[in-house]
Amino acid sequence: MKKLIVITSGKGGVGKTTTAINLGAAINFFKKDVLVIDANFSTPNVGIHLGSPEVPVCLNHVLSKKARAFEAVYEHESGLKIMPASLSISESAKTDPKRLKLIKNEILLISNYIILDSAAGLGEEANASIDLADEIIIVTNPEMPAITDALKTIKTAEQKGKKVIGVIVTKVRKDKIELQPETVKDMLEIPILGMVPHDLRVSKALNQKNPVVYTHPKSKAARAYKEIAARILKIDYDSDKEKPNMWELLTRRY
């Protein structure tokens, strides 16, 4: 069964794009065919994260009828497929995000799982992505401003009749300052799909232009994303079996 999952957030800077890429990579880790689409036309970052900032054909060209959807797809060395958006300001200004709905069927022909990285907030771009979704995942941080904005996004999606399957909480430090999981769940009234810890290896992976799921597969962040992917796919995955051994911990080779 093909599925288009929109990854969105109430505010920027919460780790939405990092989550979209690593969730896609984690689903790909379980041998599923995945396409990650950058639908954040104002500030596209999927290509930057994966070392393809400028490509000959991108999503903007597809929406302007200059190319077919399959022509804008590029395969990462891991097997993960991506469809970047243009970094050009002029190209972005010419792009109508409402046209996304016109190419949904064409996109669904490419992969079984489509992960769409939405723009943050509730502007025209974000709403166009929400309108396209089969399912929606909210990304937030365990802080009150992020949770408040996430709640607005959830309510907007529900008003559109869209299914919000849960929230992914990122940059979790587990200190006394941040909101606790029970509080987040009570405030948002949706399931928590996973808690992704604050992990410097995520930044190192970005520097390597690769998902942390592949650069540091035994890291806490990578295992958290794989746990979330397994939950979405409804398959068994024991992250404890992938914990680094003592030598790896001592040498930081994980």
pLDDT in tens, 191-216: 999 999 999 999 999 999 999 999 99
Contact 25, 78 (CB under 8 A): yes
Q: What residue type is 233 in one-letter code? A: L
> What pLDDT is recorded for position 226?
98
The per-residue pLDDT for range 37-78, each reduced to its tens digit, is 999 999 999 999 998 888 999 999 999 999 999 999 999 888
The per-residue pLDDT for range 100-124, each reduced to its tens digit, is 999 999 999 999 999 999 999 999 9
Contact 20, 46 (CB under 8 A): yes
> What pLDDT is recorded for position 106?
95
Domain assignment of residue 196, given as a range: 3-251
Of 148, 178, 139, nearest in space to 18 by CA: 139
The whole-number average pLDDT for the span 159-167 is: 96
Per cent of the chain over pLDDT 70 is 100
CATH code (residue 95): 3.40.50.300
Beta-bridged to residue 36, according to DSSP, are 82, 115
Across the chain, the runs of DSSP E, i.e. the strands, are 3-8, 34-38, 74-75, 81-83, 113-117, 135-140, 163-172, 192-197
What is the model's pTM? Answer: 0.94
Residue 180's Cβ-count burial label (10 Å; 0-12, 13-18, 19+) is: exposed
> What pLDDT is recorded for position 79?
86
Of 226, 225, 172, 163, nearest in space to 197 by CA: 172
> What pLDDT is recorded for position 188?
95
> What pLDDT is recorded for position 245?
79
Q: What residue type is 37 in one-letter code? A: I
CB neighbours (10 Å) of residue 217? 17
Give Cβ neighbours of residue 203 (< 8 Å, ≥ 6 apart). Answer: none
Residue 26 in this model has a pLDDT that exceeds 90: yes
Query: How far is CA 214 from its chain centroid?
Result: 15
> What pLDDT is recorded for position 54?
85
- Please state, rounded to an integer, the average pLDDT across all residues of the chain: 94
Output the six-digit token pair for 184: 């987040």
Count up the domains in the chain and report the number: 1
Residue 187 in this model has a pLDDT that exceeds 80: yes
